[in-house]
Amino acid sequence: MLVVRSLLVLAFCVSEAVGGLGFATLSPSFTTSLAGGSLCHMPPPCARHRHCQVAQLKGCTEKAASAVVLDFDGVICDCSEAARIAYRTALRKWPETMQQSTGIGPREAGVRSSWVGYQWSEYEEDSGDDIPRWLEEKLRQVRPVTSGPADFVLAARLCVSEALAGRNHKRSGRRPLTAGEIIENWVEMKDVLYMRCNTTVEELEHMFTEERRAWMDTDRDGWSQSATVYPPVADALKQGRDKVFYLTSDFDVDQAKLVLERNGVEVPEGRIIEVEGGSKADALYSVAEGIKGGVAYVEDDAPTLQSMAGDLRFADGVSLHFATWGHSTSKNKAAVAAWPRVHSLEVDALSDLIVPEP
């Protein structure tokens, strides 16, 4: 697999013959062989699994009832708001390429009907912010491998460039990379993408922050509506108002509070902790230090949980929970299932974690 990925990056670097970023120049048979099929969504758990999980939660959280700490992006909010801002940022950075995105049909963009309930007509609906529906859904799929706002902006550019290159060279059998192929090869591709697109992480993060702030300043209601909270999560948070803390690295405290309150969740003072400069582990430890009793932490980023599982500060009194509904791939889910220190958590079981049944 390492050799194949290296070949993909090499092919990308030397591909100068067509427009776009070069990946669509690969033959269908070659790119198909790279597909990992690691998409974000998994089938919902059966009812029996749900009951088993609740029973497990009662056992693993008996000492962790004092406080529940949740990561914000991915656990509470989906990526709809970030996808729209990534699109706006990419449109500002690469207008000639991104302006063509609205003319691309979903069938030529490398998306799947299964993402929208097998209804291709769903891709024709207006997303409400000029971002093509196909692009929003494809970005939702690749979100787990993007490590921050800059990567997400770069992924938006890649998806559009690949769709354009595939459409312009359809006769030769070329097609855009699928979401699964992007997921499997993102680590190897992104450094090349930054160079080819003549940008840096710092530049794109700064532009992303500017676009978010400009949207909030001109249309605060529209912005807060785009920051979608998973409905079952909002219901669970309303039940546990006095025992929930929030860690946020993508939103500042005021932004996170606005999103929660718009969804009917009251936030006591000091419950939102902004992770700035340090790590989530340090922020979690600062919360846990001030809590008498156990703490449960809910996170959707598998590498973060893996690191915390080996952190001696959390060896006693802190239980770690993987939010299966968040930004993760099937490989993430399989890996987490093998970690004894981390408990996989379905969204319907969150309320039982926050307010355990008697």
Whether the CB-CB separation of 177 and 31 falls below 8 Å is answered with: yes
Q: What is the predicted pLDDT for the residue at 59? A: 42
Per DSSP, the three-state class of 285 is: helix
Q: How far apart are CA 87 and CA 236, in angstroms?
A: 31
- Among candidates 103, 151, 150, 106, which has minimal Cα distance to 130? 103
Residues 6+ apart with CB under 8 A from 138: 109, 110, 111, 159, 179
Q: Which domains does the chain have, with CATH numbers?
A: 2-34+79-218 (no CATH), 48-78+228-354 (3.40.50.1000)
Q: What is the predicted pLDDT for the residue at 61? A: 43
- Among candidates 226, 251, 261, which has minimal Cα distance to 81? 226
Whether the CB-CB separation of 336 and 322 falls below 8 Å is answered with: yes
Whether the CB-CB separation of 336 and 313 falls below 8 Å is answered with: no
Locate 105 and state its tokens.
Answer: 């049909």
Strand 342-345's sheet: what is its strand order?
Answer: 272-274, 244-248, 67-71, 295-299, 318-323, 342-345
Q: What is the predicted pLDDT for the residue at 108? A: 86
Q: What is the predicted pLDDT for the residue at 202? A: 97
**Number of helices and strands in the chain (H, E):** 16, 6
Task: pLDDT tens for the chain, 358 residues: list them.
Answer: 544 455 454 445 444 334 456 554 443 333 333 333 333 333 444 444 444 444 444 444 445 448 999 999 999 999 999 999 999 999 999 999 999 998 888 888 888 888 888 887 877 765 545 799 999 999 999 999 998 999 999 999 999 999 999 887 777 778 999 999 999 999 999 999 999 999 999 999 999 999 999 999 999 999 998 999 999 999 999 988 889 999 998 899 999 999 999 999 999 999 999 998 779 999 999 999 999 889 999 999 999 999 999 999 999 899 999 999 999 999 999 999 999 999 999 999 999 999 876 6
Q: What is the predicted pLDDT for the residue at 20? A: 54
Q: How far apart are CA 252 and CA 268, in angstroms?
A: 16
Counting every residue, how long is the chain? Answer: 358
Per DSSP, the three-state class of 67 is: strand
Q: How far apart are CA 134 and CA 303, in angstroms?
A: 28
Q: How far apart are CA 302 and CA 11, in angstroms?
A: 30
